[in-house]
Amino acid sequence: MHTETSTKTPVTLLGLGDMGTALARAWLAAGHPLTVWNRTPGKADPLVRDGARAAASAAEAVASAAGPVVLCLLDDASVGETLDGADLTGKDVVNLTTGTPAQARRRAGWAAERGARFLDGGIMAVPPMIGQPESGGYVFYSGDPDLLARHREVLEAVAGVEFVGADPGHAALYDVALLSAMTGMFAGITHAFALVGGEKELDLARFAGLLTEWLAAMAPAGQEMAAPLAGGDHTEGVTSNLAMMAAANDTFLATAREQAVDPGLLVPYMELMRRRVAQGHGDEGLSGLVPLLASQPAPATWQGNR
């Protein structure tokens, strides 16, 4: 247990799940006095042994906070439940709980009504990357820029800091946009392994290496979409056009059929390409699909599973 007095900013952390615990360990390692609270109390015990103080309740943790109050909980509803009854007057609240942009904006207004300053964050890291600057992990922040400036050192002790503006919803928007891109990539990887998985003579480890290299080589296409999207000309600098890709999709689908693989993960994207080509935009690149997609909200049946 640490007994020496620290000159570093004290941190109050609510939520000791996998990510909360990683944050706690990083702040302790960096020498920040740390007060923790978790709904299930036992999770604080190992941290208390290493120098943290366990608060008796979330309200007590907030009341005694002399530095940022950081939340890392399951979802926005758990943030509301945890802070219900806490006096937030004059407190600096940093919410690292994943939520939607609208939830972040509502939570910022809710905090302001209670006299608190508010910063929302979206964590672009998994727990082992926390407190490891070389891992490349970082957090998107948006909201009160003065609050970020005041607590920058504290926040940089756990991960890189990427401020994306005063709109409190933007950190969540960037976060979910990147995670959504990742989800699409994982869907493609799942389909690719399903295609080859049944082949007896195929070296899966070799295939996995080639797949990873190919995805890395294709990733810059994301960067190349920014200019046509900003300028509105989707034929600008096109190397592979939609007409060619839509034709190749027929081969992809035929191969899925031959390999007895359900193409359902890819079909909606292929259908978007087909529609754009049918509208007479076969000479465009992939950026031409963005306005088409942005004009069609998800069917009600896709609104989530909770």
Q: Which residues lie near ligand FVH (CB under 6 A)?
A: 15-20, 38-40, 43, 72-74, 78, 81-82, 97-98, 123, 126-127
Of 41 and 197, CB closest to ligand FVH: 41
Alpha carbon distance 296, 302 (integer Å): 13
**Least distance CB 146 / ligand FVH (angstroms):** 25
User: Least Å distance between CB 63 and ligand FVH?
Assistant: 17
- Least separation, in Å, of the C-beta of 296 and ligand FVH? 27
Q: Of 16 and 272, which has the nearer Cβ to ligand FVH?
A: 16
Query: Nearer Cβ to ligand FVH, position 20 or 168?
Result: 20
20 or 33: whose CB is closer to ligand FVH?
20
Between CA 227 and CA 238 the distance in angstroms is 11
Q: How far apart are CA 107 and CA 111, in angstroms?
A: 6
Minimum distance from residue 81 beta carbon to ligand FVH (Å): 4
CB of 18 to ligand FVH, least distance (A): 4
Residue closer to ligand FVH by CB (options 176, 229) is 176
